Amino acid sequence: MNGLYDGPVWVAHVLAVLGLLELGPALIHSFAPDGGAFAIAGLHQQAGRATIIGLFAWAGATQLCWALIILSVAFRYRVFLRPMLALMALEKSLIALNGWLLKPNPGLHHPPALYAALVAVPFLLALLAASFAPSSRHHEEMP
């Protein structure tokens, strides 16, 4: 399947790194005792502790699946690299839109993902644009 991708192989390498970066929050939300809700996101424990932890575990499960899909595209199914980058840019755009404009929490702690989304959107769009550049080798494979 990777032979069907005609763009630069370095874009797939960067996608692999992004997939690995998704694993960190996925594992924290899935397996940390508080799911990162209090220790990282700064939520107050009085706000329904069990519900908040359950929601973070649910988010972690989703992030874990998303990370595995990203990695499979980066390593094996590069033909889907461009749609994957577009979906990732959309996801981060929605996170930024909700966290900063539609549902902001003035004066409250902002979790790291809200700041990362502001950097990720232009980065992902630049990667998407770069993926359309011709490759120096048509059938470059990752080691």
Percent of the chain scoring above 90 in pLDDT: 43
Tens-digit pLDDT profile for residues 6-39: 889 999 999 999 999 888 888 888 788 887 888 8
pLDDT exceeds 70 at position 138 = no
Burial 80-117 (b: 16+ CB within 10 A, else e): bbbebbebbbeebeebbeebeeeeeeeeeeebebbebb
pLDDT exceeds 70 at position 140 = no
Choose between 98 and 63: higher pLDDT. Answer: 63
What integer is the mean pLDDT of 115-136? Answer: 94
Residue 124's pLDDT band (cuts 50, 70, 90): very high
pLDDT exceeds 80 at position 143 = no
What integer is the mean pLDDT of 129-137? Answer: 85
Contact 94, 24 (CB under 8 A): no
**Dihedrals phi, psi of 14, to nearest 5 degrees:** -65, -40
Listed by start position, the domains of the chain span 2-130
Contact 109, 87 (CB under 8 A): no
Contact 109, 37 (CB under 8 A): no
Distance CA 34, CA 97 (A): 26
Distance CA 115, CA 96 (A): 8
Choose between 3 and 18: higher pLDDT. Answer: 18
pLDDT at residue 141 in the model? 55
Tens-digit pLDDT profile for residues 65-117: 999 999 999 999 999 999 999 999 999 998 888 888 887 777 777 888 899 99
